[in-house]
Every structure is written in C-alpha cells, then in structure tokens.
Amino acid sequence: MITLGDMSDHYAFVVGLRALRDYQPKPITEEDMTAILEAARWTGSSKNLQNWSFVVVDEPGVKSRFADCGKFTVPIRNAPAAIAIIEEPGGYEFDSGRVAQNIMLAAAAIGIASCPITIHSHQKAAEVLGLPEGRKCRYAVSLGYPAPNAGPKFKGGRKPLDELVHHNRYS
C-alpha cells in the first residue's frame, strides 16, 4: 500500500499515461504478465463484487480471431498479448473501465506499453474465448514491450479544464 506523501512522481506517471500501439515482437514474460494481472485483481469494484475475470490471449491463432471481434484492433494484432476483460454476471461496465486503467498503469510501471481496445462483436468474442453463458467481453487491453517508435496516435492532447469543469451547477 502506498502512503500519501510526496506524490509528484506518481502524479506525473498518472497524467503521462498514453495509449501505445507499437510493440516489440517479444513475448511478455510470465512474471510481468502476473504482475499486471495482480494489479487488475486489486482494482476496486462496485460493492467490492469483483464481477470480472480475465482471459490472457497470446496464442497467435486465437489472438487473430479475437482481433476480428473489433473494428480498431490493429494494436491486438501487433501486440504479443492482450487481456480480454470479461464481465461476469452482475458486472458493471464502469468496473471494466477501472480494470483497464489499472492494467495500463501497472503495465506502464514495469515498462510495458498498452492500448485499450473496444470489442464490438460480443457474441463472436464469446465464441472465440469460450465464454460460458452470461459472460461478456466489451473491452480488452493490448500489451507489449514498446517499440522504439511507440508514441500516441492522436496528437490532440486534452481539452483544457475550463471547457470541462463546472462548479456546483453545469453552466
């Protein structure tokens, strides 16, 4: 558990996280993948229900068919591995988002690049991943050691705070 103190490095780390889509071809070590999955496991969820599970997709044939389940899945094709985030019965999409962010932050902390991926064809993904009835994969995260040229695809940065923030009432 981290303690609150001088958090400037942590703050810069959080603010600096970017989706990276270019990876080295080498596989992710078991130790690194386990560390990422541990961080996923420790994500907070609604009522601490933890209604999620994870499918590590790293077998090339399965990875290719999984990539066919979304419209913008080139990062999965390029990556040595992806984690499919599975909503178990009673799971919330919000919780899947939190898991994805934890996966990305933990990966970055150990030098692994990542990109969140939308899975558009839920039925097809369920077939590819062998999901039992009632489980759904809406999102995945591609993972790999960053290629030397890895950088954000969309250069726009972020909207300024004064476009985003209201106080007490939306105005």
Ligand X SMILES: Cc1cc2nc3c(=O)[nH]c(=O)nc-3n(C[C@H](O)[C@H](O)[C@H](O)COP(=O)(O)O)c2cc1C
For binding to ligand X (CB under 6 A), which residues are involved? 18-19, 21, 70, 72, 75, 115-118, 152, 154
Q: What is the DSSP string of 41-65?
A: HT---GGG---EEEEEE-SHHHHHH
Min separation Cβ 24 and ligand X, Å: 18
**Side-chain-facing half-sphere of 32: CA atoms under 13 Å:** 20
- If the CB atoms of residues 19 and 56 are measured against ligand X, the closer one turns out to be 19
Min separation Cβ 38 and ligand X, Å: 22
Min separation Cβ 78 and ligand X, Å: 10
DSSP state of 167: B
Min separation Cβ 17 and ligand X, Å: 7
- If the CB atoms of residues 36 and 141 are measured against ligand X, the closer one turns out to be 141
Q: Give the C-alpha separation, 138 to 125, whole Å.
A: 9
- If the CB atoms of residues 116 and 146 are measured against ligand X, the closer one turns out to be 116
- If the CB atoms of residues 3 and 158 are measured against ligand X, the closer one turns out to be 158
Starting at the edge strand found earlier in the chain, the sheet holding 52-57 runs: 52-57, 81-87, 136-144, 113-118
